[in-house]
Amino acid sequence: QSVLTQPPSASGTPGQRVTISCSGGSSNIGRNTVNWYQQFPGMAPKLLMYRDGQRPSGVPDRFSGSKSGNSASLAISGLQSEDEADYFCAAWDDSMAGVVFGGGTQLIVL
Amino acid sequence: QVQLQESGPGLVKPSGTLSLTCTVSGDSLSNYYWTWIRQPPGKGLEWIGYVYDSGRTSYNPSLKSRVTMSIDTSKSQFSLKLSSVTPADTAVYYCAREILAGYYNGEWGSWGQGALVTVPS
């Protein structure tokens, strides 16, 4: 049971806009910034978004992040087949004094 | 560009101690937080904890009684020990580094490739 809640799967067709949600509480998302990771099978996760909506160098601007209250979202516009991967949200949790994750969302490009 | 590489036994007996080392190249360990994260096969990510260059540590409360992390800046390595392992500890173990020095927020821009550790039943 993950502290942050994500839908287990999401899907879209090429060119579409897809949103992945991440729901938490006042001790994590409500007080701290959210980071997003992209993971392909057999590979280490890759930092996709940090501090709610900042993209590391090299991440296409098709990816965007936002936060409101105790929830955050990752949006992918102009969906491409290579975006098919697992996506995880993460945030510092003040109660646990550590980082908590969402359970991950498998994105399927139809 | 910093690179991280995990190493250690891939098989640990139940009740034994899992020991992994992360070797860092391309940058100094100084001023950074160094993190261990694990992922059971087919499941999500779990934060294990971090060690700072000073040796200061912070652990996941659910694992705290069994975890020890250490750092050796002279060898450019940091290590994880997890005691009293069970099959539930079977996972890919990753080491990672924050994108910014002296700052901890789970913003891991550099990762090792991961090391699968199996605890048989």
Show the CA angle centred on residue A34, arms to residues A31 and A39, nearest 5°: 155
CB atoms within 10 A of CB A85: 20
Which residue type sits at B48? I
| B46 contacts A56? CB cut-off 8 A | no
Show the CA angle centred on residue B111, arms to residues B110 and B116, nearest 5°: 180
Cβ-Cβ contacts under 8 Å, A103 against chain B: 44
When pLDDT is averaged across residues B16-43 and rounded to a whole number, the result is 96
Q: How confident is the model at residue B61 (pLDDT cuts 50, 70, 90)?
A: very high
By Cβ distance, the residue of A35, A44, A88 closest to B44 is A88
- B109: tokens are 């821009």
Mean pLDDT of chain B: 97
Cβ-Cβ contacts under 8 Å, B105 against chain A: 32-33, 35, 50-51, 92
Please tell me the predicted confidence (pLDDT) of residue A1.
Answer: 86
Percentage of chain B with pLDDT > 70? 100
| B47 contacts A98? CB cut-off 8 A | yes
Cβ-Cβ contacts under 8 Å, B109 against chain A: 47, 56
If chain A, 110 residues long, is cut into consecutive pieces of 10 residues, what is the mean pLDDT of each piece? 96 97 98 98 98 96 97 98 98 97 98
What are the residues whose beta carbons fall under 8 Å from the beta carbon of A61, sequence distance 6 or more?
Answer: A55
